[in-house]
Amino acid sequence: MLYTAKCFWPGVAEEDVRLAAARASGLKGALYLPADELLLCLFEAESAALVKRESERAGLPCERVIETVWIHSREGEL
């Protein structure tokens, strides 16, 4: 299953985001929106609870885990 971890992270630097993402097991990728101080992390995991635990272990301030469906364009895929 795919899940998105929504992480509101005021004042974070891009390097801190990259370091935390490198520590996160199951992380497929992330969207960092610096103007909104928001990080959306795409995980592949068996449950939302696992995503929450893994996010916290990696130092990501996960406030919500959302079941996600990936829809790709003809030009790219996950």
Return the SS3 of 32: strand
User: Is the CB of residue 21 less than 8 Å from the CB of residue 55?
Assistant: no
Pick the CATH number of 2-68 from 3.30.70.3090, 3.20.20.70, 1.10.260.40, 3.30.70.3450: 3.30.70.3090
Q: Residue 65 to residues 53, 61, 78: CA-CA distances in angstroms?
A: 10, 11, 19
pLDDT tens digit sequence for 27-65: 999 999 999 999 999 999 999 999 999 999 999 999 999
Return the percentage of the chain with pLDDT > 90, whole number.
Answer: 88
Q: What is the pLDDT confidence band of residue 73, given thresholds at 50, 70 and 90?
A: confident
Considering the entire predicted model, what is its pTM?
0.87
Write down the domain spans for the chain.
Answer: 2-68
Looking at residue 76, its pLDDT comes to 60
Reading the block at residue 74, the tokens are 């003809």
- CA dist., res. 12 & res. 67, Å (int): 25
